[in-house]
């Protein structure tokens, strides 16, 4: 019988975590699990995790005061929490590792098929596309928000219930070793790498370091797991070939196992193409803009084909996909269209987005671009932001605004590529960007906004919406 919160006991948690009972009873039953003392509920097990800016042990008493039935703590801190008549206290060597170990054990207590998706760009959209297909046939658990790291992915797995027949996980990283550990925890039946690009360079050095970190999925996936790779990404294919030769590939090139052909860019209406795989030829229509989403759809379809999902489910799931907020989604501002790509940014995702923006402009309309800086680029930051400006200049926008510590480099890159000085400028605040764009935009214009999450350019989207209503 699957492990179930409300039935799981302290005794059952000891083995997978290599834990020891410091106080309390082995038969203590936990109603759930919590890593945040502020939301811990009665009967739950509070897991004291240690991060760069927090230490969960400092909040264990708060969790107990809120009704937690027990605490998992590291060996050096457990005795500080334990006291006469205390609730159940379990001590472990490393609370983060033990948390992942429990999640990995929990995953194998359930009859579920696991798809794990990583990549420098497109992983969230691919994840939601795949989930949309799989949900048609069976109850499916999906990573929510940015729960894609060494804490978030275990939290997702520990939500598995008896009815979940599919689990679709997103795996993120910013340093070497993280994807390997996430793969160990999730033990995916299917692992997908969407692409390799310039992201998280501060922790990985260069794009080859990114490739090595991403293909940890290929290295660590179990022998029975299927690997799906972007066959048009030469660096990815070269890096992954060391570990796995029989990967399933997707892309537009003829060499791929799963190909997109007869591609038609329908502008703001999306795109259409044929998916070809062995004896399958499937006509597909995406109702979201951006040619990069064709690659995401091919990756999602590949994962589902490896799980033997029907072509009919794949077509239905992709056709019904409406996009992910902040990821190249269209927003109507009356007679003006806005492409909201503000959730995050790196050089690769920016390049892909800018390549699609031009096809979305109405006849007679103009392009206005607002960019926030791209984070975690290390020594490549200056070069990457200058290149961003050059890519924007190639669109010949009516106006280009840049924000953040590297805004000046973006504007300089645009000017070096021939943009008129009066069209490019830096701004210091969201309100300033809203004001300038709001005064500049006119009927049939297209506004494109993108930046790293910390830049919070969603505030510009909200500000422009407010001006138009």
For the chain, how far is it from start to end, CA to CA, in angstroms? 54
Long-range contacts formed by 137-142: CB under 8 A, 24+ apart: 137/309, 137/310, 137/313, 138/165, 138/166, 139/163, 139/164, 139/165, 139/166, 140/164, 140/165, 140/166, 140/167, 140/168, 141/112, 141/166, 141/167, 141/168, 142/167, 142/168
Kindly report the CATH class assigned to 329-467: alpha beta
Give the per-residue pLDDT at 154.
98
Is there a contact between 98 and 72 (Cβ–Cβ < 8 Å)?
A: yes
Which letter does DSSP use for residue 350 in this model?
H
Which letter does DSSP use for residue 158 in this model?
T
Distances (CA, A) of 22 to 72, 82, 370, 399: 10, 7, 56, 64
Give the per-residue pLDDT at 415.
97
**Mean pLDDT per 10-residue section of the chain, whose length is 469 residues:** 90 97 94 96 96 90 93 86 77 97 98 96 95 95 94 97 96 92 98 86 74 92 95 94 87 96 94 94 95 96 97 97 93 95 93 92 92 93 96 96 98 96 97 97 96 96 91
The domain ranges of the chain are: 10-93, 110-319, 329-467
Give the per-residue pLDDT at 465.
95
Fold for domain 10-93?
A: 3.40.1390
Euclidean distance between CA atoms 266 and 338, whole angstroms:
17
pLDDT digits (tens, 9 = 90+) for 131-181: 999 999 899 999 998 899 999 999 999 999 999 999 999 999 888 999 999
Give the per-residue pLDDT at 83.
66
Give the pairing type, strands 367-372 and 32-34.
Answer: unpaired
Is there a contact between 410 and 371 (Cβ–Cβ < 8 Å)?
A: yes
Give the per-residue pLDDT at 33.
97
Give the per-residue pLDDT at 274.
97
Cα Rg for the chain, rounded, in angstroms?
A: 24
Q: Where are the beta strands (DSSP E) in 270-391?
A: 271-277, 280-286, 329-333, 336-341, 367-372
Give the per-residue pLDDT at 204.
67
Domain 10-93 and domain 110-319, same fold? Reply is: no
Give the per-residue pLDDT at 200.
61
Burial grade of 418 (CB within 10 A; 0-12, 13-18, 19 or more): exposed
CATH 2.102.10.10 is right for the domain spanning 110-319: no
Q: Which helix (H) or strand (E) holds 230?
A: strand 226-230
């Amino acid at each position: 019988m699957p492990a179930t919160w409300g039935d799981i006991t302290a005794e059952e948690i000891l083995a997978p975590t290599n834990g020891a009972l410091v106080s309390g009873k082995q038969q203590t039953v936990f109603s759930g699990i919590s890593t945040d003392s502020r939301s811990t509920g009665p009967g739950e097990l509070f897991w004291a995790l240690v991060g760069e800016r927090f230490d969960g042990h400092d909040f264990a008493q708060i969790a107990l005061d809120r009704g937690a039935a027990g605490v998992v703590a590291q060996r050096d801190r457990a005795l500080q929490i334990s006291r006469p008549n205390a609730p159940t206290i379990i001590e472990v060597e490393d609370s983060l590792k033990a948390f992942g170990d429990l999640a990995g054990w929990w995953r194998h207590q359930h009859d579920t098929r696991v798809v794990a998706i990583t990549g420098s760009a497109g992983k969230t959209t691919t994840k939601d596309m795949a989930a949309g297909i799989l949900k048609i046939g069976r109850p499916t658990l999906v990573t929510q928000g940015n729960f894609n790291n060494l804490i978030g992915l275990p939290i997702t797995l520990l939500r598995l219930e008896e009815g979940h027949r599919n689990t679709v996980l997103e795996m993120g990283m910013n340093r070497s070793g993280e994807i390997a550990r996430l793969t160990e925890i999730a033990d995916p039946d299917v692992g997908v790498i969407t692409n390799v690009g310039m992201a998280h360079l501060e922790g990985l050095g260069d794009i080859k370091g990114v490739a090595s970190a991403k293909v940890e999925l290929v290295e660590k996936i179990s022998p029975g797991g299927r690997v799906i790779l972007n066959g048009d990404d030469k660096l990815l294919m070269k890096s992954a070939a060391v570990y796995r030769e029989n990967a399933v590939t997707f892309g537009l090139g003829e060499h791929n196992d799963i190909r997109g052909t007869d591609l038609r860019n329908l502008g703001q209406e999306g795109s259409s193409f044929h998916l070809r795989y062995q004896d399958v030829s499937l006509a597909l229509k995406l109702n979201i803009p951006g040619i990069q989403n064709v690659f995401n759809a091919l990756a999602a379809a590949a994962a589902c084909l490896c799980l033997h999902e029907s072509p009919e489910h794949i077509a239905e799931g992709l056709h019904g996909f409406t996009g992910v907020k902040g990821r190249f989604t269209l927003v109507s501002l009356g007679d003006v269209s806005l492409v909201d790509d503000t959730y995050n940014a790196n050089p690769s995702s920016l390049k892909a987005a800018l390549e699609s923006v031009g096809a979305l402009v109405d006849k007679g309309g103009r392009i206005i671009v607002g960019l926030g800086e791209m984070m975690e680029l290390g020594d490549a930051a200056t070069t990457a932001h200058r290149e961003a400006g050059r890519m924007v200049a190639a669109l010949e926008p009516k106006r280009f605004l840049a924000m953040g510590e590297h805004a000046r480099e973006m504007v300089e890159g645009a000017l070096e590529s021939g943009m008129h000085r009066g069209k490019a400028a830096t701004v210091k605040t969201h309100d300033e960007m809203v004001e300038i764009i709001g005064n500049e935009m006119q009927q049939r214009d297209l506004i494109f906004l993108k930046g790293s999450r910390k830049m919070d350019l969603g505030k510009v989207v909200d500000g422009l919406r407010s001006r138009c209503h």
